[in-house]
Structure 1
Amino acid sequence: MESPLNINQALPGAPPAAGGRQATATAFEGAVPRLAVLVVAAYIATQMLSDIASLKIGIVLGLAVDMGTFIYPATFTLRDLVHKVLGKRNAQTIVVAAGVINLLMAAYLMWVAGVPSDPSWGLGAEFSAILAPVWRIVVASILAEVASELVDTEAYHWFVTRITQRYQWVRVLVSNGVSVPIDNLVFSVGAFGWTLPWSVIGQIFLFNLLVKYGMTLVSMPLIYIVPSRTG
């Protein structure tokens, strides 16, 4: 099994390895576990997929819900995996990077939607209607993601440094239990606070909270697929 990341071994300032640039590249590649790369990729991909899926409002159990709700909660557990294998500072960096990536994705989709469509294609209006971002919702979503997952980082770090490194499933429940309501509150109020009655916002908050806690239970076993970071 490859050793967890110790990035200082492969950054400028570290003692040069024999073989020059090729040896340095090899050392850096060996310092990053493949599993860590996969976890980071899964986290970023899930963030983007949930934002795109949220463009569809579906009916589930008779209630309106954005369809990103069912995949987005997995990002909290994936963030815990990033934290476990790469450490707190790297987890914070990846959370902020994901927010920037989602913002750039929304900006690019806005530009694409504004480009005149080829008349022979015939779907320009439909594309723009679906994928052109509503910036009120985009900003609220990104703020909710970044704020809640940074809180998730602090809660996870507090648990493993102040409570115990055992009972890994409990650390997931604790960190997600704190961060999910923050995500719900920031998004619900930021996206709909000036457009929907507060009673409707309350329903959105409650339904999303229940779904996200349910998905936390489903994704919780993932915490055991990566080794803990050492060093």
Structure 2
Amino acid sequence: MIIFLTTLYITLTLFSNISSLRIISILALSLDAGTLLYPATFTVRDLIHKKTNSKIAYYAIWLAAIFNIMMFIVFYIVSILPPDLSVGLQKEFGLVLIPTWRIIAGSLIAMVIAELVDTKIYEKVANKFKNKHQWLRVLISNSVSIPIDTFLMCTIAFYGTMDNKVLIAIIISNIVIKLLITLVSLNWIYFVKDKGM
């Protein structure tokens, strides 16, 4: 189970970061497409924590960061290799898969800081309530870590590249959507048994 959850967690972070390269509009809200997947990473990491301990949860966070760095390095190397001219210049490949360093930095910094904060808060809530109100662990930890993640990511990646009103709208939209997805995923915490059970 723990291998599955860790693999799912890392995969969701990778897909979220790739998807974040596209800004979309849902219900007149501007957000990066990674917003639709990323909130699930917090809950899946909570499942890892619940099934094991905070040490393993921290390990999963750092492992996800390493895999994301590797992904961006591979994308960069592939994009600078000379194209087969019989297929065309393929400029679009580089434009799509090579985000600016600010998006990479924002994504990684926000992910690591927010996930570490989330893990710490999850552990405190779990210790306080023990096996009661397990959904509250997820709700409280995500409610703190999601705004931290969103503010850091959007500010590092986009500050100065767009009007501040647009940036604030993107931040607010992302937080709202992520919190709504968190509400939908609250019951996931009951999918795994506590460690030692």
| Same fold, TM-score > 0.5, yes or no | yes
TM-score by length of 2: 0.95
Residue 150 of structure 1 is matched in structure 2 by 116
CA distance in 2, matches of 1:61, 1:147: 29
Among 148, 158, 179, the alignment partner of 1:192 is: 158
Residue 106 of structure 2 is matched in structure 1 by 140
**Which range is displaced more, 105-114 or 54-63?**
54-63
Write the letter of the residue equivalent to 2:42.
F
Among 80, 103, 106, the alignment partner of 1:114 is: 80
Distance apart, 1:145 and its partner CA: 0.5
Identity over aligned pairs, percent: 38
Distance apart, 1:87 and its partner CA: 0.7
Cα displacement string for residues 154-206 of structure 1 (whole angstroms, at most 9, x for unaligned residues): 00010111343311111110110111111011112111223223222211111
CA distance in 2, matches of 1:57, 1:199: 16
CA distance in 2, matches of 1:159, 1:165: 10
Write the letter of the residue equivalent to 2:92.
E
Cα displacement string for residues 105-147 of structure 1 (whole angstroms, at most 9, x for unaligned residues): 1111011100011112226211111011311111011100000
CA distance in 1, matches of 2:89, 2:23: 20
Among 13, 18, 21, the alignment partner of 1:52 is: 18
CA distance in 2, matches of 1:123, 1:36: 43
Distance apart, 1:63 and its partner CA: 3.4
Residue 4 of structure 2 is matched in structure 1 by 38
- The answer to whether the Cα contact below 8 Å between 1:80 and 1:156 also exists between their aligned partners in 2 is yes
Check if 1:165 corresponds to 2:125: no
Question: Which secondary structure state, in structure 2, belongs to the residue aligned with residue 227 of structure 1?
Answer: coil
CA distance in 2, matches of 1:160, 1:172: 9
Q: Unpaired segments of 5 or more residues in structure 2?
A: none
Residue 76 of structure 1 is matched in structure 2 by 42
Which structure has the bigger radius of gyration?
1
CA distance in 2, matches of 1:165, 1:62: 40
Question: Which secondary structure state, in structure 2, belongs to the residue aligned with residue 230 of structure 1?
Answer: coil
Q: Report the RMSD for the aligned CA atoms in angstroms.
A: 1.4
TM-score by length of 1: 0.81
Distance apart, 1:59 and its partner CA: 2.3
Q: Kindly tell me the number of residue pairs found equivalent between the two proteins.
A: 197
- The answer to whether the Cα contact below 8 Å between 2:150 and 2:171 also exists between their aligned partners in 1 is yes
In 2 relative to 1, CA 226–123 (structure 1 residues): closer, same or farther, beyond 3 Å?
farther
Distance apart, 1:62 and its partner CA: 2.7
Among 42, 62, 68, the alignment partner of 1:102 is: 68
Q: Which has the higher contact order (CA 8 A, sep 6+)?
A: 2
CA distance in 2, matches of 1:72, 1:52: 11
Q: Unpaired segments of 5 or more residues in structure 1?
A: 1-34
In 2 relative to 1, CA 127–36 (structure 1 residues): closer, same or farther, beyond 3 Å?
same
Distance apart, 1:226 and its partner CA: 0.7
